């Protein structure tokens, strides 16, 4: 069985060399540093590599005696430490305000490590403070921070996502105040956004006083899972701070590996954790138990690996294949969470009417939204959109993308057919599991129309009928 790490999901190139220089055993670290020095110029190195130099600085005298770049590397370390302090300073009063309002706060990633081990602020940059609040308190927490002078940093995609759903649109919202930046999470990571995903994380967390606030810190096993998952999910961004945090957790010898495996099973993170932990063992010499890697390898599958490949190539899925990979894993995680089978066969299935919604595309519109009806957790849903085809020629027949907040769930070319009333319609349809719509808090579905690569706009009023069906085996 292959237990080697997936090279697409871990540091590569010059960043990999610096990670090894900072964290690998001494002989391997020296070799990696020599190669990096031969192939890279400190004046032109990437920001991701500059960030990693903070961890290299503590052993640079060992890596290269009388290194001419030593003063500059140590200067970079001091610069990053100052930047971290400027980020942490305004976060203290914000977390205290949340705590005083009765909203529990749990720090993750770099902020959690620095609170637990203040000296670690010299080893890694903290660009923002990651704060998890309970899902039920997310909107109240955001409103409180905004009333205290924090401002939402919302690029166009975030504006659209929040408008679609404050919960399902994303896993966290970024607020800024001066030099401070907080990622206010209602889910601990981007891949796990289902009801119950963070229950164990909260249950195992410890509490600590920090700058006037009562904060929760994740247990070592949970901190390791989050560090690796985040690092592998966002590997395309090129940051490797997660390796410093993860190596420190493993070196401390307090990781409960049974919890790591339980979280991998519950969150369906086998491929991601196998890639990250395999890199920590094979490249950096960390003591990751062989049976842990064997279990993760045995439970990894092509669907999980396709998700990793998708995000390694493109942080935000763009192509149909990338969108399908993200949807397939979202559905797989929902079924795992619900404890039900992953699909329904088209053979021997009857579509029972569940709900019908009537609407229309106004002239100039190219998208229509409808509510998702409630259904039993074990149900599969079939949704059909029928657009009145009168006046639409085959040359202007639009293609569609069927979207839920944060996910594309279907789409493609429409089918010209007749409605139950005999009128010509263009039909689009897709199936999705009720476990996904329920556990991921998906409340609405949108049909976006396209004419090639250009957004379609209705030439006149186009009546639309949306019918929902529950699929049952017969």
CB half-sphere exposure, 172, CA atoms < 13 A? 21
d(CA 138, CA 160): 18
Q: Would you kindly state where each structural domain of the chain is located, as residue ranges? A: 7-313, 349-473
Q: How confident is the model at residue 341, as a pLDDT?
A: 67
> Would you say 228 and 255 are in contact if contact means Cβ atoms under 8 Å apart?
no
Is the pLDDT score of 165 beyond 90?
no
> Would you say 296 and 274 are in contact if contact means Cβ atoms under 8 Å apart?
yes
Q: How far is CA 122 from CA 83, 85, 132, 209, 464, in A?
A: 11, 10, 24, 21, 59
Name the band, by pLDDT with cuts 50, 70 and 90, for residue 67. confident
CATH of domain 349-473: 2.60.120
- Classify each residue of 407-443 as buried b or exposed e, where b means 16 or more C-beta atoms within 10 Å of its C-beta: bbbbbeebeeeebeeeeebbbbbbbbbbbbbbbbbbe
Nearest to 444 by CA among 471, 406, 405, 387: 405
Name the band, by pLDDT with cuts 50, 70 and 90, for residue 150. very high
d(CA 112, CA 123): 14
Is the pLDDT score of 470 beyond 90?
yes
pLDDT digits (tens, 9 = 90+) for 318-363: 777 788 888 899 999 999 888 876 655 555 678 899 999 999 999 9
Q: What is the dihedral of CA 17, 23, 27, 33, to 10 degrees?
A: 30
Is the pLDDT score of 391 beyond 70?
no
- The DSSP secondary-structure symbol of 356 reads E
- Outline where 108-175 has alpha helix (H): 109-116, 138-147, 156-164
Q: How confident is the model at residue 396, as a pLDDT?
A: 67
**If you count them, how many residues does the chain have?**
474
Is the pLDDT score of 1 beyond 90?
no
pTM of the full structure: 0.91
């Amino acid at each position: 069985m292959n237990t080697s790490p997936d090279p697409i999901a871990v540091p590569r190139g010059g960043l990999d060399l610096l990670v090894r220089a900072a964290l690998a055993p001494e002989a391997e670290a020296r070799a990696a540093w020599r190669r990096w020095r031969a192939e890279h110029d400190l004046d032109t190195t990437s920001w991701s590599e500059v960030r990693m130099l903070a961890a290299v600085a503590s052993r640079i005298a060992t890596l290269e005696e009388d290194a001419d770049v030593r003063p500059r590397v140590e200067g970079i370390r001091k610069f990053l430490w100052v930047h971290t302090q400027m980020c942490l300073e305004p976060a203290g009063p914000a977390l205290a305000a949340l705590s005083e309002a009765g909203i529990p706060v749990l720090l993750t990633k770099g902020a959690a490590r620095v609170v637990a081990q203040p000296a670690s602020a010299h080893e890694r940059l903290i660009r923002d403070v990651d704060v998890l609040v309970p899902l039920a308190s997310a909107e109240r927490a955001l409103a409180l921070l905004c009333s205290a002078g924090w401002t939402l940093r919302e690029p166009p995609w975030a504006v659209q996502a929040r408008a679609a759903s404050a919960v399902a649109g994303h896993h966290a919202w970024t607020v800024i105040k001066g030099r401070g930046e907080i990622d206010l999470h209602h889910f601990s990571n981007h891949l796990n956004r289902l009801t119950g995903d963070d229950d164990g994380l909260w249950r195992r967390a410890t509490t600590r006083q920090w700058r006037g606030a009562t904060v929760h810190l994740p247990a070592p096993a949970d901190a390791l899972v989050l560090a690796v998952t985040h690092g592998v999910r966002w590997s395309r961004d090129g940051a490797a701070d997660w390796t410093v945090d993860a190596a420190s957790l493993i070196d401390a010898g307090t990781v409960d590996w049974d919890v790591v495996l339980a979280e991998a099973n519950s969150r369906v993170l086998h491929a991601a954790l196998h890639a990250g932990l395999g890199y920590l063992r094979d490249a950096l010499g960390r003591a990751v138990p062989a049976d842990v890697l064997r279990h993760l390898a045995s439970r990894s599958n092509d669907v999980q690996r396709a998700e990793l490949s998708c995000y390694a190539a493109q942080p935000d899925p763009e192509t149909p294949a990338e969108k399908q990979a993200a949807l397939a894993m979202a559905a797989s995680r929902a079924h795992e969470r619900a404890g039900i089978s992953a699909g329904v066969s088209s053979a021997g299935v009857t579509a029972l009417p569940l709900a019908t919604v009537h609407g229309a595309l106004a002239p100039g519109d190219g998208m229509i939204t409808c509510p998702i009806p409630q259904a039993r957790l074990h149900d599969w849903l079939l949704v059909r959109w029928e657009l009145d085809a009168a006046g639409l020629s085959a040359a202007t027949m639009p293609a569609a993308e069927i979207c839920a907040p944060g996910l594309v769930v279907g789409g493609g070319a429409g089918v010209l057919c007749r409605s139950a009333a005999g009128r010509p319609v263009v039909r689009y349809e897709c199936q999705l599991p009720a476990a996904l719509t329920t556990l991921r808090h998906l409340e609405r579905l949108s049909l976006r129309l396209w004419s090639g690569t250009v957004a379609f706009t209705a030439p006149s009023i186009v009546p639309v009928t949306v019918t929902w069906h529950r699929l049952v085996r017969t």
